[in-house]
Amino acid sequence: MDINGKNILITGGSLGIGKETAKFLSDKGANVLITGRSEERLNNSIAYTRAKKIVFDIGNLKNIQEKAKECIQILDGRVDVLVNNAGTGFRRNIDELNANDFLEVYNTNVFGLSLLTKEIIPIMKEKQAGTIINIGSTASLKGYKGGSIYSSSKFAVRALTQCWQAELRPFNIRVIQIN
């Protein structure tokens, strides 16, 4: 795929995989917008990546629609590629689990990812083109001790990816997961 001039939205772009992906894509000529919870980390990242930024915590489900519209506006109404990279997690053994821990992880890793994608899809459908890349984990393939919350959230992302592949392929929208 030629990414020169493509509009790419990367969630969780202030650290790690998201930050390095933003730099790589910017270096290849893409117009990159990164999101993150920390304005300070985003500012450090944009100095390195030359991407645009928006402070946006996808785990805050109350403002997904509003923030998605801001992202779309910053990208001049066109999102060619959505990289769902934002994620969180921690280890808890089964006897330590509670609902709030599940909600904290699932709000970002599953619900926020899904609701943001839902807001971007109409643009891609109208264009009859687009790519959605869900950043998964080997935890989406095999659970591990203490991984009930994180691993199950990544299993959910794997299932979402497969469902969206079937739903969106007729619109020429590719959906993949990278572990």
Active site residues: 150
The CA-to-CA distance between both ends of the chain, in Å, stands at: 20
* Of 79, 101, 77, 84, nearest in space to 35 by CA: 84
b or e along 127-158 (b: 16 or more beta carbons within 10 Å of the residue's beta carbon)? eeebbbbbbbbebbeeeeeebbbbbbbbbbbb
Give strand ranges (E) for 89-158. Answer: 130-135
Tokens for 26, please give them: 């910017």
Report how far residue 99's alpha carbon sits from residue 102's, in angstroms, rounded to the nearest whole number: 5
